[in-house]
Amino acid sequence: MTEEIKAYCMKCKAERTIQGVQIVMTKNGRPAANGTCPVCGTKMFKFLPSSYKSQATPAPAAEAPAAAAPVASEPAPVAESAPVSEPPAA
């Protein structure tokens, strides 16, 4: 892609042209640009307008989360405590 996309570099604190631009699709379906700052090499990211959807590559498939522990339908029984005795009268 020959188009230059500018984004704000958080390290340089300046707007820079993204180097090595890769247009990707986020998990929620929004196009974005990934790349690096040409001055300091920091990763840069910028959300793009929806007109870039046709150029975007799909987001990498994330691994499925580990199975959660089964949810108990009933709470665990609570042991009854011994009755509290009153303190001796003085």
Q: In this structure, what token pair is assigned to residue 52?
A: 């870039």
Give the pLDDT confidence score for residue 22 in this predicted structure.
Answer: 93
pLDDT digits (tens, 9 = 90+) for 43-55: 999 999 988 888 8
- pTM to 2 decimal places: 0.59
All residues at 6 or more sequence positions from 8 whose CB lies less than 8 Å from its CB, including other chains: 14, 15, 16, 44, 46
Please determine, for residue 78, whether its predicted confidence score (pLDDT) is greater than 80. no
pLDDT digits (tens, 9 = 90+) for 50-71: 888 888 787 655 555 555 666 6
Residue linked to tokens 């990763």: 43
